[in-house]
Amino acid sequence: MEKFTTRGFKILMVAVVVLIGAVIYGLSAGSSVFSNLFGIVSAPLLTAGTNMTEGAKEFIDLDGMSKEELKKLYVELSEENRKLREQLVDYYEVKEENASYEDILSVKDAMPDLQLTSASVVGRDPNDVFYDFTINRGYLSGISEGDAVITEMGVVGVIDEVYATSSRVRSILSEKTKIGASAKECGESGVIASDIQFANSGKVKLLYLTRDTQVQAGTIITTSGAGGVFPSDLLIGRVDSVERSNADSSFYAILTPYVDIKTVSDVFVVTDFEGKGDVQANLPEASPEAEDPAATAQKGNE
Of 7, 274, 301, 31, which is closest to residue 170 (Cα–Cα)? Answer: 301
- Measured from the CB atom, the residue of 46 and 209 that comes closer to another protein is 46
Residue 261 lies near another protein (rule: CB under 8 A): no
Of 195, 175, 184, 296, which is closest to residue 236 (Cα–Cα)? Answer: 184
Residue 157 lies near another protein (rule: CB under 8 A): no
Q: How far is the CB of 147 from another protein (least distance, A)?
A: 15
Q: Give the ranges where the chain is alpha helix by DSSP (H).
A: 6-29, 33-60, 67-87, 91-110, 196-200, 293-301
Q: Label residues 54-72 b or e (16+ Cβ within 10 Å = b).
A: eeeeeeeeeeeeeeeeeee
CA quadruple 258, 161, 118, 274: dihedral, nearest 10: 80
Residue 1 lies near another protein (rule: CB under 8 A): yes
* Residues between 5 and 34 with contacts to another protein, criterion CB under 8 A: 5, 7-8, 11-12, 15-16, 19-23, 26-27, 32, 34
Residue 3 lies near another protein (rule: CB under 8 A): yes
Q: How far is the CB of 192 from another protein (least distance, A)?
A: 16
Residue 57 lies near another protein (rule: CB under 8 A): yes
* Residues between 128 and 147 with contacts to another protein, criterion CB under 8 A: 128-129, 132-134
Count CA atoms closer than 13 A to 252's CA, side-chain side.
19
In the shown chain, the binding pattern of residues 198 to 237 toward another protein, with x for contact by CB under 8 A and - for none, equals --x-------------------------------------
Contacts of residue 155, defined as CB under 8 A and 6 or more positions apart, other chains included, come to: 148, 149, 172, 179, 223, 230, 234, 235, 236, 257, 259
Number of residues that bind another protein (CB under 8 A): 54
Q: Which residues contact another protein (rule: CB under 8 A)?
A: 1-5, 7-8, 11-12, 15-16, 19-23, 26-27, 32, 34-35, 38-39, 42, 45-46, 48-50, 52-53, 57, 121-129, 132-134, 160-161, 168, 175, 195-197, 200, 263, 265
